[in-house]
Structures are given as structure tokens and as C-alpha cells.
Structure 1
């Protein structure tokens, strides 16, 4: 009998600063019947040596050294050598609670779950926020199809998932995951987690969701890509993701529900990656998603996360807005162009026309907005997103996505 009950797979690339903490948090688990598979995805730093050094000290650790192929290829490589019946993924710059594996395993076995989901912690610049699912409980196959999947990608609020895309706060059955993971196109370099999670969910017959937070997700401002060098390539890859999801969910969701889910998901990804102003075949002006905000408006950008950074970077090239200030409650040293992140208290009502809250999560948007109102910012000076589905659908078609969400240009054209 194989004593290994869980295979923990860690894809690794360029994270030597964080990797030891990640590995230590796993080998110190209260649950000991696991193997740890460290996949060095051609990392150019000291990560390969760190992996090998740990493997010499702990027989439960396997190390794979491979040419760089991206996150998805590393996850596939790890799964190929995994020996346990359950699979957990941990990103190499994150870390886990001591009872991470113990809790996941007990939840999975007790409920004979194909998929086990938990809460997590989000760490940014030393501050930790607890994130918990809104729909804890056990779901059978009928309930997964009737209540979970129709809201998984878009839960009715722009743009919030009914289930998180992340693979790292979940426990998978190896046999089912093998059917899913190796069918995901390696060219899907954005939204890999969504391609895996939602496809896997569609095949699951028993699901358990727990609010217990066990995983520490490190949100790093230095890991965010701050500009789009090739919009056509980005659209091509996003089209691959949406097409993959359409194929995998078409037999479960009705066409209208699935189209709505994917329209909003694609729109949200386009917003974040484009810095708000969506590029349409080199047309000017680009699509401006902010209601009532016009070109040349004096803007304060709230949030130094991915979306905020993209807004700043895009505006450096387009000069569409006049960005007068960049603020965040998580104030830290970060600069794009001449703009540096400043504390929220630095905002004055007379300094700007509109304030853009750079998040597509409605719950987060509401929380930030309530704080801004308390700080004296008027409601009508806080920008809102355009979220009419008809307008979004027309935009997507105008950009060149077909009815299957594939982008008009093939890879040869894009390159």
C-alpha cells in the first residue's frame, strides 16, 4: 500500500527569495503522509540549488529540473510523477498553515469529495487579509450543476466569481485531474488556474467548500507585468482560455448562461490587462469603460495592485487621462513614470474630476468606496464601470472575437 496520500506540487521560477519559507511550511505539516514535488521550471537564479539541498535532507522531496515552459507545463510535469491519490498545488512564493494538508485531507475523505475548496489569506506588504468563500457546504452532482457552475465564473455582480479560480486552495483527485490538466493548451498563459478549476468542477460529482483559511497567498507588486507589449498576443491567449471554458462547460450550462459568464469574464480580463482603455484594432479613441469619465479628465487612481499599475503604465503611452495622484491604503514604495504611491489621506476633493478604484471585485470596490466617502470624497466623483452586457458583447465582437471566443488572428499572424 502506498503510504503517500497527497502529492504536493510546487512550480518554481525566479523566486529564490521566497522559496525556503514555502518549502519549510510544507515539510513542517502536521500531516506527514505526503510527497513534495519541486518542479524547477528552468529557474535562472539559485532556486535549483535550493531544491536539491532540501531533497538531500528529506526523502519525501522529489526534484524535477526542466527547461522553462511556463506555469502550466510545470504543473503538468509534477502531475506526471505524482504517486498519491490526491493532488495539492502550492506556488513557490507562497506558504501554508501547519494544518493545511491535514484539513484538506479530512474534508476530502469525510465527504468523498472530488474537489475540496478552502479559504485563504492574502498577504501584501506585511498586511494579511482573510478571504473566505461565500457558499460553504457539501454539494452533490446535481447541486454542482444547478447552483455552483451557473455562478462559478460570474455570480451576477461585475465581476465576481462564485468560485475562486485558484488551484492552490484546493485538493484534487489525481485520476480526475489527469483527465483535465493534460487537455489544457500550453499556450493558455493567462488564466491557467481558471482553465483547470472550472473544467475540473464540471467533471466533479461531489464538492466540499470550507471557510477555514489555510493558504497564504503573497501578493507581490514586483511580480506584476506592468504593460502590454503585444495586445494581439494577449487577446489571442485570452481567446484560447474562453474557448476552452466554452467547450468544457457547453454540455452543462445553457448557451445564454454560458455566454453571459464568458462575456463578463473576458471583459474583466481585458479591463485589467489593458489598463482600462481597451485597444481595438489601433482605433482611436480606445474603449473607455469608465462611466462619465472623459479624455483629459483629472484622475486619482486608487490601488497599486495589478489593475492600478496597468492604468498608470497604459496612460504613460496614451496620455488619455491626466493622472494627478496615485493612492493606496497599503501605502508602499512604488513608482511608475513620475507617479508614486501615496497614502489615502493625501487625496483632496478639489484636486481631481474623478477617482478610479482599480478593482473589478464588487465587494472590494464597495468597501473602498465606503472608506472614501468617510474621507470626504463625494459619491459622484467616484468612477463606475460600464457593465451593460449588450455593450460588452458588441465590444468583444468589434475587437475580433468570434462566437466561440477565439480571437480573429492565428498565432502566425500574432507573432
Structure 2
């Protein structure tokens, strides 16, 4: 018998997109659903639209709450979810009609706690998806964590595009008041899962709009939140004894720091940003105190002293890695 899947959709100022999103869920080939619409104090007609969906489909439940942000809305949905499994969807995105059925079947057949799919970024609705060369990857929890610095980083770190066993959220919630909220808890969820399965099939349509939280180009505040989350992840990896992965994670934080420094230098904002500079001095002290790879310590020190030079070095390094990978793939064909 198919288990109940709870679909949690935070709703805020999306009356232009909400109909498309909810209809894509109600049209799923997997029918045993509970659709939780969390009206996060939206000032437009979204609340009335949510109530309208509940009237036409008994699977829809609506929460009306004061505005608390995306994390708070997701957490509210988790609290009342009745399903054995959870999936999250942002209200300006939509999903393929077989999204839940395919992920659920993957999760059950591989005895995984998380099933994830790929997605497609789009600013138009008339899309023809490429369904050839679909790959299925099964990861242990440690292998899934390694992907947070690997090829499938984005689809594994985001909250949406997945089905989770509800037990994973027994003690885990999204951090309220922070952007890049999924960065803060992805590693906890992956570590807690006994197994993760990922399909490269694109089944979620990630709508690109300028007024969304993440759709505003280079946002310094958002990037700083990202570095905070990644540094917390590195500390967690250190606690569980994954030192090599901890060092890779610190490299990611350093690379984002370089992007922030470069942007602020271009806009003559760096000299007065004592908070940013002090934050990375603290990280430098942590690196100095911890039993970290000496190469990592030197690399970070050089980033602090010569951010522009190290930015160029990082770009050349990642370009060389891509070139090497490309040559290896060609030889293996």
C-alpha cells in the first residue's frame, strides 16, 4: 500500500504563480497526498486562493499564520504533517506530474531515507525536458555528504526536489530568520539518513524571477549567510571525524569569502566592513588552533593577505579540474 506523502508549500506574495504550483501537485499520478499550504501572512490574495484550493480538493490543508519567513513556514508545515514522507516545494516552482511517484518508488525500491531528483532553471513554461541518459546514484550517508563538495552539490543541498522519511525531521528544523536555510541543515539530514538515492532526471521546474529571495544577482548578505552555514557544516564534520571532508568544506567557505571580498572591493565597501573582516579573523584562529591540514591554513592566510591573487588562483584551479575531468570522460567513452 502506498504511504501518505505530505507536500509542504510555503506561500508568500506569489498570487501570480500559486495556481500553477498547486495544480501541478494536485495533478500528480501519485494520489495519496496531503498538500499543506502555509500562508505566511501574505498581504495579497494568496490566503483566499489557498482556501479555494481546500474547497475543491479534500487533500489540501491550509495554515494561516503571521509572517515568519520561509524557514518558519516550512517548520509549521512539518509540525502538522501526517504523512510518513515529506516533500517541500516553493510556491513559484512546479513539478512534473510523475515527480512524487518516481521519487517514492526510488526511495522504496532502494530502501533509502531520502530520494532526490535534478531540476531545471527556467523563466518560461514551454519546456521540453531531456529524458535520455538518466542516471541513478545510490549513496551511503557519508557518500551523500561528500557530494556537498562534489558534482551533485546543488540538488542535494536544496530543501526541495526530494522526498524525505519524516523521522529525519524528528529533531531537525530549518533555522528561522536566515537565508540559505537549507545550507544549515542539509548535512544533518544527509548524515542522519541511512541511504540516499539520486536521479539525474529533471522533474522540478525552478522558476527564475528577480524578486525572489535568491533571484537578485550577487547578494552580499546572502553570501555571508552561506559562509556561516558552510563554516557550521565544517564544524559538524569535524565533530563526526570526517576531517578530509571538513577541509574541503572550509575551502568552499574560503572561495565564497573571496567572491565577497572581490565584490566589496569593486564597490569600495571593504574598508568599512569590520564585521566581515572580524568574522574571517575568527575563522583564521579556528584554523590555527585545530588539527587542520597545513596547506589549508596557508591557503586561508594567503586569502586574507592577497584576496585578488588567490581569487585568480582558485579560478585557474577549478578550470584545470574541469579540463582534467573532461579529458578523463572522453577517454572512458
Which TM bucket (shorter chain)? 0.7 to 0.9
CA distance in 1, matches of 2:262, 2:53: 40
2:229 aligns with 241
**Would you say the 8 A contact 1:122–1:128 is kept in 2?**
no
1:148 aligns with 144
RMSD (CA atoms): 3.6
CA distance in 1, matches of 2:36, 2:79: 10
CA distance in 1, matches of 2:31, 2:202: 20
| DSSP-derived class of the 1:209 partner | strand
> What CA deviation, in whole Å up to 9, does each residue of 1:242-298 have, x standing for no partner?
343234333445335313313314633772797474854427xx99xxxxxxxxxxx
Which residues in structure 2 correspond to 1:147-166 (within 5 Å)? 147-150=143-146, 152-155=147-150, 161=153, 164-166=156-158
Q: How much has 1:398 moved relative to structure 2?
A: 10
1:321 aligns with none
2:190 aligns with 201
CA distance in 2, matches of 1:163, 1:24: 23
Task: Report how many residues are paired.
Answer: 283
CA distance in 2, matches of 1:105, 1:123: 25
Is there any run of 5+ residues in structure 2 with no aligned partner, and where? 278-295, 308-333
1:225 aligns with 216
1:69 aligns with 68
- More deviation in 120-129 or 201-210? 120-129
1:213 aligns with 202
Q: How much has 1:198 moved relative to structure 2?
A: 2.2
Which residues in structure 2 correspond to 1:303-314 (within 5 Å)? none
1:172 aligns with 164
Which residues in structure 2 correspond to 1:15-414 (within 5 Å)? 15-125=14-124, 128=127, 136-139=136-139, 141=140, 144-145=141-142, 147-150=143-146, 152-155=147-150, 161=153, 164-180=156-172, 182=173, 184-189=174-179, 191-223=180-212, 224-225=215-216, 237-238=225-226, 240-252=228-240, 254-265=242-253, 267-268=255-256, 271=259, 275=263, 277=265, 279-282=269-272, 390-392=298-300, 394-395=302-303
1:310 aligns with none
Q: How much has 1:50 moved relative to structure 2?
A: 0.6
**Would you say the 8 A contact 2:12–2:46 is kept in 1?**
yes
CA distance in 1, matches of 2:34, 2:92: 19
CA distance in 2, matches of 1:272, 1:24: 39
| DSSP-derived class of the 1:221 partner | coil
Tell me the TM-score normalized by structure 1.
0.59
